[in-house]
Structures are given as structure tokens and as C-alpha cells.
Amino acid sequence: MTFALAGNQNSGKTTLFNKLTGANQRVGNWPGVTVEKKEGTFAKSEKLVDLPGVYSLTPYSLEEKITREFILGSETDAIINIVDATNIERNLYLSLQLSELGKPMLIAVNMIDEFNKSGGRLDVKLLEQLIGIPVVPISARTGEGISELVRRAVELNSLPQTPKFSNSYSDYAELADARYAFIESVLAQCLFLVRAGESTKSNKLDDILTHRFWAIPIFIAILGLVFWVTFGPLGSFITDSFAKMVEYGIERAGALLDNTGASAWTRGLLVDGILTGVGAVLRFLPLILILFLCFSLLEDSGYMARAAYVLDYILKPTGLSGRSVIPMVMGFGCTVPAVMGCRSLQNERDRRLTIFITPFLSCGAKVPIYAMVTAAFFPRHGALVFGFVYLLGVAAAIGSAAVLGRLKHFKGKISPFILELPPYRIPEPRSVALLIAHKAGGFVKRAFTLILLGTVIIWLLSNFDFRLRTAAAQDSMLAAISGVIAYIFKPLGFGNWQATTAVLAGFTAKEAVVGTLAVIYEVGTDALPAHIPEHFTAAAALSFIVFNLLCMPCVAAVSCIRRELGSWKITFAALGYQTGLAWVLAFFVYHLIGWFV
Amino acid sequence: MKLSKLRTGQSCVITKISGEDALRMRLLDMGLTPKTLVYLRHTAPMGDPMELRLRGYSLSLRRSDAELVEVEAVE
């Protein structure tokens, strides 16, 4: 049998799905859309399909349409509907809608342990009678009631299904009213709250985290903590160790090729081209995983919903909602997970627009560029330069959202901001771990496909001249191409082939910008700042920073943007816009600063 | 009065939801149906959006969207 798993957001649906299917999962997309579809098996051969978390089945949202169509489809035999016991009144609203679709159905009342602990009691047998649908109390987190759930799901076809609520209303307000009235009358009989009231602990925490004055400083502090964990001593230790492992692996592969007597050309392509290129991207893996870990902990704990709530006001004028804050903030770490994180945005317009602007938020890999220029020209004003760069990125992102949002391409319903603020909960380790594993898999897969192709092309260009003979950097095709492209950068103050090559190398990975300059100028990375003033004026160096900050992101991010936007045409539009804006702003910075300095 | 005019700590009962279809349906689906008791727990730092308590859960809503909801204040 094929079961559809349906339920509200924050009802513990993912936890239950993981509990039931364990490692037997397949993740893909629903046909034609970028909404994730997860499938798994339980009880040996029963198929379970995880549906998007929805509150209703109106035909207005993509997720709700997917849910409705999948359940009505011939593939689906029965529904498992998960309901949050601590928020049962609103959760049962979806249950009534699901029961109206006419498929066999089972309600799993989740978090029954938490509900009982808070002083509530639910007469499950009576609830089952009153709504005419089988009900099983469970705790997806502890596993309580899961075997009973499986047992009854398997024999669902032989269980009585006599939904007591019938839809006989033409006006939606009357219908919604009638559904809630029915739920209220049912719960009045079978639900008892011994200690009435809400969780005071959750409320107290909420008062602090969304406090009138402290909310935004706390948000910034939490972000600071996340980036400190990712890029600070602990994060860099993990990242560096992993990078060393990758480098060691590449070295061993090189040694192996030397022993087998491979030609210099083969060795160059395999080791310096492919492995080094893929390695440069794989080095990001720990960083991305740590970032994802931090953000999924914030998400699952309920904090992210508060961050969206607190910051909605700031984004409102751009036509985006507070929900976009979450992926945008991830962009400060790495654009790749940020773009992937845009999936959490339910409105298609918001999702696309956020993907367009996220690359403007300065990712961690660009920091060495700022550090190099600061050390060379402004050693005593580092904070000022960094502050300027980050604020410029934020301003470019918000300004672009406001302007692009008015274009025809982004027309569409500006989504209202209607967001549930779930109670604070301790994240469930297993779900977090599975999410991380899934993200890691996707990233590694991309590193070996599109990114591989990109790095091979750049390697070929930088190691051969136009007669396809191996060549030194300054005689390579890349240098020749850079020499031509350099004219584009003349008005920006850095129109030479060296700086241009560094910018182009940045498209493989932004870290490569500084490294490439070091290679071309034939100095160590440490001595680089001392040499920069020989090749750049201060104004040109700032313009170089601005261009690198805003221009199209690295190959890894581009491939991700392509996948999420689903079209090369729109992807190129995004990259063109980003690079164009980078050029214009770098031009202004170069000439304005040139005036003063 | 309109739900958007509710002050922090104040409670009200919903009387009517007006407005365009999608948003109206969404509000109804989230439990903002006539006769429902709603309490404004607090607001985000700039006074908007608001955090409402209703039907045992917390819902955040922009004041501009809350204009569609007619309510009667409860003392």
C-alpha cells in the first residue's frame, strides 16, 4: 500500500517520517516544481510519501495543491495524518479537510507525552468515535505508540471509516466556521486540561528573544555566535583538518600517477586540474555542514520563526517578508546553502527574488580579499572597511529586492505574512543528522559534476596557449583572454590581466582570488599586501573589493542557483544583473574615492 | 473596530473577515473565524507584525493584513 503522510508544519511530521522509514529514504522533487518529495518504506513493504507541511487544502498555494492532488491520485491508498496534541484544535482542521477527500485515513496524535506532562488529558477512544476516524496517540520523538500506529496503518482498509463531519456549505467563511465549531464541540467532550494555560517557560523565553529593545541585538549576537562557531577556532580547526586530508589525498594520487609513469599532461589534468579543482570545492564541505547544523538547530528550536517575526518590518518595503531573512542570513556564511535554504520560502515569487539577491551578502570566502586590501592600504581602519563592505552588500540586496520586485518577471501575489510561532522545543538529533547527511550528499554530487566541468575548463585555459602547448601563466589562454577582458575593468581602475585573471579565478572559488594574485605576482600570500600598492591605487583596490563583493558568485553557487531556479535563462539573467550592478557600483566607488584621495 | 488596532495585552472577539479570497481563506483556515477569542500577546520591535494567541497557539500577522478582520474588544 502507498500511504501519504500529511500534517501541519511544526507537527513533528519529519520526525515521524524518519522514525517510520529510518534510512530507507529517497529524496527527489515533485514533478515540475522545486518542492522536495521524500519517499520511504516502513513495515517491510509499505510505501510512505512525505507531503509538504500545510495548514489547509485551499487551491492557492503550491504545497496545498501538491498535497490535494497526490492524495486524490490513484497511487495513494490511504492517509496518515499527523496532529500535534499540544495544538490539536487547529491541527484537526486539516484532518477534517483530509477526511473530505474520501480516502481511508488514520490520525496520529503526536507529542502526546509533552501534552500529558503539561497537564492535559485526551480521551482517544472518544475522539475516535466522535470524528469517525481511527486515532492513535504517539510520540514520534520517543517512539511511544509507533508500533501501534504501524499495526493499525497496515490494517487500515478493514478499519471503519465514518467521518462525522460533512461539508455542505457553499460559503467558505461558513464552512471554516462549521469545521472549527465541530472541532470545538468534539474537543469539549474528550479533551481535558487539568492545568490550563500555556507553557510559561516558552513564553518567558519568547519575551526575551522578541523583546522590544533586545530582539535585534540578540539576533545579531546569535548570528555572530553561528559565524564564530563556523569560522572561529573550532570551525577552522575542522575545516583545516579536512582540507589537509583532501590535500593529502591529492598528493597521494599525484605520487601514484608518478609511480605509474603517467605523462606530465595527464598528471596535470588529473591532479592540478580535476582533483585540485574538486578539492577546492570539497574544502567547503565542513563549513557548509557546520552552517547547516547551526541553522537547522535554530530552525527546529523555533527561533527562526521568531527571527522572521522580528525582522519582517525591515523587509516589508521590499515586498519580501520576514521569512526571507533566514536564507539571506545564511548567505553571510556561504551562498550555496543559502540558495538551497530558499526552499523554505513557500511563495514562488519570494523564493526566486531571494535567490537573486542572496549572492550580494558577502560570503565567508571573500573575507581574504578584504583582509588583503585592508592590510595593504588601511591597516588601522579594518573595521571601517569591513563594515562598509558588509553594509554595501546588505544595501545592494535590499535595494535590488525593492527594484527587481517591481519587474514583470517578479510580478505575482505579494504573499501576506501569516506565520505560526511554534513553541520552543529542543531539536531532535536524528532529524538534524539526516538533514545534514542529505545536504552533504547533494553538495558532493554537484562537486563532481558541474563544478568539475568548470574547473577543468579553467585549468585548461590557464595552462595552455592558443596552440595548445603548455604555457606559463602569463602566456596562457587565460592571460590572453584576461588581457582582452581587462578593458572592461579599465574604468574600474584595475584593467590589467593580473587582476582580471584573479577575478576570473574567483569564479571557481572566491578564495582563489587572493591565491591567484599571489601566484601571478610571484610572492607568498603573507607578503602579498606589501606588493599590492605597486599594482593598485587605494581607490582601485576598493573598487576591486566592491566588484568582487557583488559580481556573480562561484561555480558551486551558480550551479545551485541554476538548479533552484530551474532555468539557464533566468540564471544568466541573475548573473548578468549581479555582475552589471557590481561594475556600476565599483565604477562609482573608484571615481568617488579617487576624487578624495 | 479592526484587529489591526488592537493594543498589546488586549483581547477581542472576531466578528467578520472581509477582503480578497486567498488571504481571507488563509485567515479563516488559521482559525480566525467569527466568535473566536483572540489575544494580542505582543508585537515585534517596530510594533508590527503582531503575535496573536488564539485556539491555543501563537500566530504572527502584519497589521496591514489584520485590517481585513473586524473585531469587538473584550474588557
Q: How many residues does this entry show for chain B?
A: 75
Task: Give the tens place of pLDDT for each residue, A552-579.
Answer: 998 889 988 998 898 899 999 999 999 9
Which pLDDT does position A103 carry in this prediction? 92
Report CB contact under 8 Å: B65, A418. yes
The Cα A262–Cα A256 span in angstroms is 9
Report CB contact under 8 Å: A89, B23. no
Q: In which domain, by residue range, is B24 found?
A: 3-74
CA-closest candidate to residue A22, choices A140, A114, A109: A140
Task: Give the tens place of pLDDT for each residue, A279-306.
Answer: 766 776 787 788 778 888 988 899 989 9
Average pLDDT over chain A reads: 87
Instruction: Locate all alpha helices (DSSP H) within B2-75, ordered by sequence.
Output: 21-29, 63-66
User: For chain B, what percentages of helix, strand and coil (3-state, to nearest 5) are there?
Assistant: 20, 40, 35
The Cα A96–Cα A92 span in angstroms is 6
Q: What cell was used for A365?
A: 570566502
Give residue A440's pLDDT band: very low, low, confident or very high (50, 70, 90). Answer: confident
Report CB contact under 8 Å: B59, A418. yes
Average pLDDT over residues A536-542: 94
Q: What's the number of domains chain B is made of?
A: 1
The Cα A467–Cα A41 span in angstroms is 57
Q: What is the third-level CATH fold of A2-193? A: Rossmann fold (3.40.50)
Q: What cell was used for A533?
A: 600598492
Q: What does each C-alpha distance from B10 to A87, B13, B40, B46 come to in angstroms?
A: 22, 11, 6, 18
| Cα of A199 to nearest chain B Cα, Å | 11
CA-closest candidate to residue A515, choices A286, A277, A323: A277
Residue in B37, B58, B69 to test binding to A, most A beta-carbons within 10 Å: B58
| Cα of A145 to nearest chain B Cα, Å | 24
Instruction: Locate all alpha helices (DSSP H) within A2-137, ordered by sequence.
Output: 13-21, 62-72, 88-99, 112-117, 124-131
Report CB contact under 8 Å: A176, B25. yes
By C-alpha distance, the chain A residue nearest B61 is A418
CA quadruple A5, A126, A103, A89: dihedral sign: negative
Identify which of A34-43, A584-593, B16-25 has the greatest average pLDDT. A584-593
Place of cell 538534524: A432
**pLDDT > 70: what percent of chain A?**
95
Average pLDDT over residues A164-181: 88
Q: What cell was used for A591?
A: 571615481
**A568-596 vs A538-550: helix crossing angle, rounded to 10:** 160
Which pLDDT does position A197 carry in this prediction? 54
Report CB contact under 8 Å: B31, A56. no
Chain B residues touching A302 at Cβ < 8 A: none
Cis omega (within 30 of 0) for bond into B49: yes
Report CB contact under 8 Å: A313, B28. no
A83-97, A355-369, A442-456, A521-535: which range is least confident on average?
A442-456
For residue A430, pLDDT over 60 is answered with yes
| Cα of A16 to nearest chain B Cα, Å | 21
CA quadruple A335, A344, A425, A420: dihedral sign: positive
Task: Give the tens place of pLDDT for each residue, A335-374.
Answer: 988 898 888 787 788 889 999 999 999 987 888 888 889 8
What is the amino acid identity at position A388?
F
CA-closest candidate to residue B17, choices A50, A194, A416, A239: A416
For residue A525, pLDDT over 60 is answered with yes
B21 beta partners: none
- Residue A495 and residue A486 in contact, taking contact as beta carbons nearer than 8 Å: yes
Q: What cell was used for A345?
A: 520560502
**Residue extents of the structural domains in chain A:** 2-193, 199-597
Average pLDDT over residues A177-201: 84
Chain B residues touching A216 at Cβ < 8 A: 45
**A382-404 vs A367-377: helix crossing angle, rounded to 10:** 130
Q: What is the pTM of this model?
A: 0.83
Which pLDDT does position A153 carry in this prediction? 94
Give residue A125's pLDDT band: very low, low, confident or very high (50, 70, 90). Answer: very high
Tell me the longest C-alpha to C-alpha distance in chain B: 32
The Cα A52–Cα A37 span in angstroms is 8
CATH number, position B11: 2.30.30.90
The Cα A20–Cα A383 span in angstroms is 51
Chain A residues touching B65 at Cβ < 8 A: 416-418
A537 φ, ψ (degrees, to nearest 5): -85, 165
